[in-house]
Structure 1
Amino acid sequence: MLHSREFKIYMSIMIIVSLAAVLIAAFFSMESIVIVIITSLLLIGISVFFTKARYQDIKKLSAYLREISSGNKTLDLRDNREGELSILKNEIYKVTMLLSEQGEQLKEDKVKLNDAISDISHQIKTPLTSMMILVDLLKEDHLPPDKRKEFTRKISTQLNRMEWLVATLLKLSKIDAGTVQFKKERVNVEQLIAKAVDTMLIPMDIKDQKLSIRGEKDVSYMGDINWTTEAIINILKNCVEHTPDKGEISIHFSENPLYTEIIIEDTGEGVSKEDLPYIFKRFYKGKNASEESAGIGLAFAHQIITSQEGDIQVTSRKGTGTKFTTHIPHVNFLYF
């Protein structure tokens, strides 16, 4: 404190003012001089006392910051006293906690990234290994034409699978990074469903599955039609894959003052009770999942719906089919 330039200047001004007051008091009486001297000494003493106390608080604050920089985030600097220094302490504590939370979040993100890279490597490695084996078989000179055609078809299937996998993962990474700007436009649900169903008509036709669609023509919501179409396609794809030949898939949509509802239901094999809580988890493959399943379709759909402030739920029982219920709140309700 004594080495502080500001403190030296402050004390010099206090002494000069006190001496000036003593000289002025000398024109009146000796009693005035005594009163001025005592008052000046008291003011200087009180100033020194409070300045010392403030410097002690600043030292504690500096020690706290050093502890924080060394990695100790358990210290609590907050106090409930009034004053600028107390406000500063509380604000520093808030910033420290925020930085600590961000640091923990970064650690979690790194773990998730490592897990995702590991899962992606596994997902891509499987079709690559399969294709390498098929390519080696195609090199045989005496391979029958029908086998050559079959192996070529399998390679094409694996390539299409890898293309879809990489494209979906890229879209997921964009959503995770927060770089996707979802539009807020009026979307007609009937047109949305028609657009999504159009891509699944051939797989449904191959399995001779029946499709029923019910809903009013004017049902709509505020959102992004292209991204929501991606979500609906992935839900339909899951239903088609897990519904047997000649099975049924139904789509029903409606709206109320709070939200727009889209229900997609199938008559497939259903989801086991053990798998149901993890059905939207990325790279999770249930007991009934096919070997070609990558475990990201439903996770992708879930991410798209929730990123638009929506909600998606699934109910299912083994052997009785699966029901996906999507709710997209109306904008006016969200921001009321």
Structure 2
Amino acid sequence: MFRNREFRTFFISLSVIAIGTISIAASLSREAFIMAVVSSLLFIAVTVLFTRWRYSEIKKLSGYLRQISSGNYTLDVRDNFEGELSILKSEIYKVTRKLSEQGAHLRTDKIELTKGLSDISHQLKTPLTSMLVMVDLLSDADLPEAERKEFTGNIRQQLKRIEWLVSSLLKLSKIDAGTVSFKKDRILVKDLVNKALEAVLVPIDIKEQHINIQGGGTMGFEGDMNWTAEALINLLKNAVEHTDEQGKITILWDENVLYTEIRVADHGEGIAREDLPYIFKRFYKGKNASEDSVGIGLAMAYSIVTNQGGDLQVKSDLGKGTEFLLKFYKQV
């Protein structure tokens, strides 16, 4: 305790004041001298004892902090008293709880990262293995021209799949990291739908599907046109994929005082009820998912919409079709 320079200074100052008080009391009377000596000694003793107690409490807190730094977040240092040390203990406990929560989040993130890497590895392994086999076959000089063209086309298709997967994962990682700055522009739903439809016109034409569009030309919301179009494209791709040839896909929108809503409905095979709670989960593939599906598109659409303060819901019945509902809430 006396190694502390601040305490030494305080103790010396206190002693000087006590000596001065005793000297003045001695010049007055013997009784005043005795009272001054006793009072000064008691005051100094109480000060020293109180300071030692504070030092012991601070020492305990230092021990708690060492345990916390080593990863023990179960300590509860709070007490039910008032005072500076109690406030400090309460703040240390709050920090401990935050560290504990952050540690739990980090462990969860590591588990999710491991699962994600495993899923990505699995998704890349299949097309890469297929391409390696076809490349070996293409090295055969006696391979018929028709088969060579078929293998070349398959390799091109697998490369496009890998390119789409990597591009989607990069977009998702940007959204997860919070590095995407979503714009707040005025978007007309009519323009958004037209922009999204351009990306799926070819598969729609190949399958001779019919698009039913209903909605007002002046309805809109505030958001990012490019990113929201990306979300809508993924929903339309899902609808086209699960709708039969010459089937119908409906896109309609409406608005009220609270939000603007966009509905994308198909009359395809639908989604099983047990799959519905997980349909927006990354890399999740439902029972009716195609072999080429990787479970990225719907997860990306959900992330884009919700990160703009919107909401994305799904309704589906097996054999009747699926409807996705996007809601973009109006700013007050």
TM-score, normalization by structure 2: 0.95
Please state if 1:47 is matched with 2:47: yes
Query: Which stretches of structure 1, 4 residues or longer, exceed 6 Å deviation after superposition?
Result: none
In the TM superposition, residue 39 of structure 1 has moved relative to its aligned partner by 2.2
Other structure's SS at 2:313 match? strand
Q: Counterpart in 1 of 2:157?
A: 157
Other structure's SS at 2:328 match? strand
In the TM superposition, residue 2 of structure 1 has moved relative to its aligned partner by 4.2
| Whole-angstrom distance in 2 between the partners of 1:200 and 1:165 | 17
Q: Counterpart in 2 of 1:293?
A: 293
Q: Counterpart in 1 of 2:260?
A: 260
**Paired AA for residue 211 in structure 2:** L
Q: Counterpart in 1 of 2:211?
A: 211
- Aligned partners of 2:314 and 2:323 also within 8 Å: yes
Residues 188-213 of structure 1 show CA distances to partners (whole Å, capped at 9, x for unaligned) of: 11111110011111111111111111
Other structure's SS at 1:221 match? strand
Q: Counterpart in 1 of 2:119?
A: 119
| Whole-angstrom distance in 2 between the partners of 1:124 and 1:94 | 44
Other structure's SS at 1:103 match? helix
In the TM superposition, residue 224 of structure 1 has moved relative to its aligned partner by 0.8
Q: Counterpart in 1 of 2:183?
A: 183
Q: Counterpart in 2 of 1:222?
A: 222
Q: Counterpart in 1 of 2:56?
A: 56
Count of aligned residue pairs for this structure pair: 332
| Whole-angstrom distance in 1 between the partners of 2:199 and 2:3 | 78
**Paired AA for residue 295 in structure 2:** G
In the TM superposition, residue 56 of structure 1 has moved relative to its aligned partner by 1.5
Q: Counterpart in 1 of 2:272?
A: 272
| Whole-angstrom distance in 2 between the partners of 1:58 and 1:76 | 15
| Whole-angstrom distance in 1 between the partners of 2:120 and 2:74 | 37
In the TM superposition, residue 97 of structure 1 has moved relative to its aligned partner by 2.1
| Whole-angstrom distance in 1 between the partners of 2:82 and 2:185 | 49
Q: Counterpart in 1 of 2:311?
A: 311
In the TM superposition, residue 147 of structure 1 has moved relative to its aligned partner by 2.4
Q: Counterpart in 2 of 1:231?
A: 231
**Paired AA for residue 54 in structure 1:** R
Residues 174-230 of structure 1 show CA distances to partners (whole Å, capped at 9, x for unaligned) of: 111111111112111111111001111111111111111111112111111111100
Q: Show structure 2 runs of 5+ residues with no match.
A: none
Other structure's SS at 2:283 match? coil
In the TM superposition, residue 78 of structure 1 has moved relative to its aligned partner by 1.9
Residues 116-140 of structure 1 show CA distances to partners (whole Å, capped at 9, x for unaligned) of: 1111111111111112222222233
Q: Counterpart in 2 of 1:16?
A: 16
| Whole-angstrom distance in 2 between the partners of 1:78 and 1:328 | 45
Residues 103-158 of structure 1 show CA distances to partners (whole Å, capped at 9, x for unaligned) of: 22222222222211111111111111112222222233333333222222222111
Residues 286-334 of structure 1 show CA distances to partners (whole Å, capped at 9, x for unaligned) of: 11111111111101111111111111111111101001011122232xx
Other structure's SS at 1:249 match? strand
Q: Show structure 1 runs of 5+ residues with no match.
A: none
In the TM superposition, residue 41 of structure 1 has moved relative to its aligned partner by 2.2
| Whole-angstrom distance in 2 between the partners of 1:83 and 1:305 | 49
Please state if 1:77 is matched with 2:77: yes
- Aligned partners of 2:73 and 2:99 also within 8 Å: no
C-alpha change, 1:258 and 1:79, in structure 2 (3 Å) is farther
TM-score, normalization by structure 1: 0.94
| Whole-angstrom distance in 2 between the partners of 1:26 and 1:223 | 85
Q: What RMSD over aligned residues (CA atoms) do the two structures have, in Å? A: 1.5
| Whole-angstrom distance in 2 between the partners of 1:287 and 1:318 | 11
**Paired AA for residue 90 in structure 1:** S
**Paired AA for residue 154 in structure 1:** N
- Aligned partners of 2:25 and 2:32 also within 8 Å: yes
